[in-house]
């Protein structure tokens, strides 16, 4: 199995097409300038140090060297051996509130950003658990099914925003239903649901749905995001503060009581999000304390890195490009 340890670094290769376009534009600009002076080939022969094809060769060498250095930076690796390992874990679905009230900035930079940071911190602390992602507001949508590919989940998490759910509200009950349908129906344990929300305008069916989930073996934890004092909400659609029907600013407040009641109904815990790392540690500790199921999987271990070969070849090409003569040497005849 081959992989790049830092695959995001490969985005640096995207600069090569831009460099090619700029080089071609420079070549055409130079030719137009020479043509305006007279015969191009005659002028080139008169230019001191002109070597046909020299600039193209140097540019090609630089592009190849740059590409090799970027690939080396991403660190190409190959699995030297495979090993059958027994993994233990549970299925965890994170239900993230993306309603517009989550844009309130009573915690910095805003509620939604802090909630996303919490999910990322949880993933960093988790081991072999399968994790899924549900986003909800007035409706709920499954963004990532249960998976052990945390990098894919983090990538999807970066694109989460209120625009993903056009229907506004905080319908926690629908998020619970969707999560229950996403879990395996064969087992009545090894499952946990983490609801991250400000709890504002939640529906009355939420506790009833969570109780049913708990009876089906799902432990439900809740995380409150925001402050009880609340603050105004900036509406991206209108580029101004959100107003109610009377024209007064809407104040969004964290509903701790509702979220605590939901956690109690789900036989889980309620946590108020203050320190992201501490809350992630607590939630992951609760999940790790659950009864876990055994999962057999073949994984690649003992990866061998090959970055040094790419960096070496790239460096050699840069040296060759540097050693290419910058000008044509004069012959003895020309000197005389």
DSSP letters spanning 262-294:
HHHHTTS-EEE-SSHHHHHHHHHHHHHTS--EE
Q: Backbone phi, then psi, for 49, in 5-degree steps? A: 85, 10
* Strand (E) or helix (H) holding 26: helix 15-37
Write down the residue that tokens 């305006």 correspond to.
Answer: 36
- Dihedral of the alpha carbons of 234, 236, 238, 244, in degrees to the nearest 10: -40
Strands 91-97 and 191-197: parallel
For 40, the token pair is 């191009």
Instruction: Judge if pTM exceeds 0.85.
Output: no
For the chain, give every domain's residue range.
2-75+306-335, 85-296
Residue 195: the pLDDT is: 97
* pLDDT 10s digits, 69-118: 999 999 988 876 666 666 678 999 999 999 989 999 999 999 999 999 99
For 274, the token pair is 């203050």
Residue 335: the pLDDT is: 42
Residue 275: the pLDDT is: 95
Residue 314: the pLDDT is: 93
For residues 96 and 136, what is the distance between their CA atoms, to the nearest angstrom? 6
Residues in the chain: 336
Residue 263: the pLDDT is: 96
Nearest 5 degrees, angle CA 110-CA 151-CA 133?
60
The per-residue pLDDT string of the chain (336 residues; one tens digit each, 9 = 90 and over) reads: 678 888 888 999 999 999 999 999 988 887 787 677 666 565 555 554 555 667 888 899 999 999 999 999 999 888 766 666 666 789 999 999 999 899 999 999 999 999 999 999 999 999 888 999 999 998 999 999 999 889 889 989 988 988 888 887 788 999 999 999 999 888 778 899 999 999 987 677 899 999 999 999 999 999 999 999 989 887 777 778 887 778 888 888 999 999 999 999 999 999 999 999 999 999 999 999 988 776 655 555 667 889 999 999 999 999 998 888 755 544 444 444
* pLDDT 10s digits, 180-217: 999 988 877 889 999 999 998 767 789 999 999 999 99
Q: Give yes or no for a contact between 252 and 226, defined as CB atoms under 8 angstroms apart.
A: yes
What b/e sequence results for 166-197 when a residue is b if at least 16 CB atoms lie within 10 Å of its CB, and e otherwise?
A: eeebbbbbbbbbbbbebbeeeeeebbbbbbbb
For residues 218 and 209, what is the distance between their CA atoms, to the nearest angstrom? 11
Write down the residue that tokens 């930079």 correspond to.
Answer: 109
For residues 69 and 41, what is the distance between their CA atoms, to the nearest angstrom? 36
For 76, the token pair is 């190409």
Residue 333: the pLDDT is: 46
Q: Give yes or no for a contact between 311 and 66, defined as CB atoms under 8 angstroms apart.
A: no
Strands ordered across the beta sheet of 293-305: 2-4, 76-89, 293-305
SS3 (DSSP) at 159 = coil
Which one is the CATH code of 85-296: 3.40.50.410, 1.20.1740.10, 3.20.10.10, 3.30.590.20?
Answer: 3.40.50.410
Nearest 5 degrees, angle CA 271-CA 275-CA 281?
65
């Amino acid at each position: 199995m081959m992989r790049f340890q830092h695959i995001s670094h490969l985005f640096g290769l995207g600069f090569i097409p831009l460099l090619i376009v700029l080089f071609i534009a420079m070549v055409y600009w130079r030719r137009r300038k020479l043509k305006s002076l007279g015969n191009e080939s005659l002028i080139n022969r008169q230019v001191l140090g002109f070597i046909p094809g020299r600039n193209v060769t140097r540019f090609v060498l630089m592009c190849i060297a740059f590409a090799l250095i970027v690939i080396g930076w991403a660190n190409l690796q190959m699995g030297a051996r495979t090993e059958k390992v027994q993994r233990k874990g549970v299925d965890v679905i994170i239900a993230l509130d993306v309603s517009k009230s989550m844009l309130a900035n009573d915690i910095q930079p805003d509620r939604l950003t802090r909630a996303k940071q919490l999910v990322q911190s949880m993933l960093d602390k988790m081991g072999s658990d399968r994790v899924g992602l549900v986003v909800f507001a007035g409706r709920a949508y499954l963004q990532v099914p249960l998976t052990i590919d945390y990098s894919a989940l983090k990538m999807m998490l970066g694109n989460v925003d209120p625009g993903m759910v056009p229907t506004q509200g905080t319908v926690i009950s629908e998020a619970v239903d969707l999560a229950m349908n996403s879990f395996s129906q064969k087992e009545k344990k090894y499952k946990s649901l983490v609801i991250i929300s400000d709890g504002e305008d939640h529906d009355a069916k939420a506790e009833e749905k969570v109780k049913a989930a708990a009876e089906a073996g799902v432990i439900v934890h809740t995380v409150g995001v925001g402050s009880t004092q609340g603050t105004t909400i900036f509406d991206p659609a209108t580029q101004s503060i959100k107003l109610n029907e009377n024209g007064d600013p809407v104040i969004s407040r964290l509903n701790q009581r509702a979220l605590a009641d939901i956690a109690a109904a789900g036989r889980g815990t309620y946590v108020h999000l203050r320190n992201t790392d501490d809350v992630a540690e607590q939630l992951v500790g609760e999940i790790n304390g659950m009864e876990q199921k055994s999962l057999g999987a073949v994984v690649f271990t003992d990866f061998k890195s090959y970055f040094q070969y790419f960096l070496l070849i790239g460096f050699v090409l840069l040296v060759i490009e540097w050693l290419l003569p910058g000008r044509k040497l004069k012959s003895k005849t020309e000197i005389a």
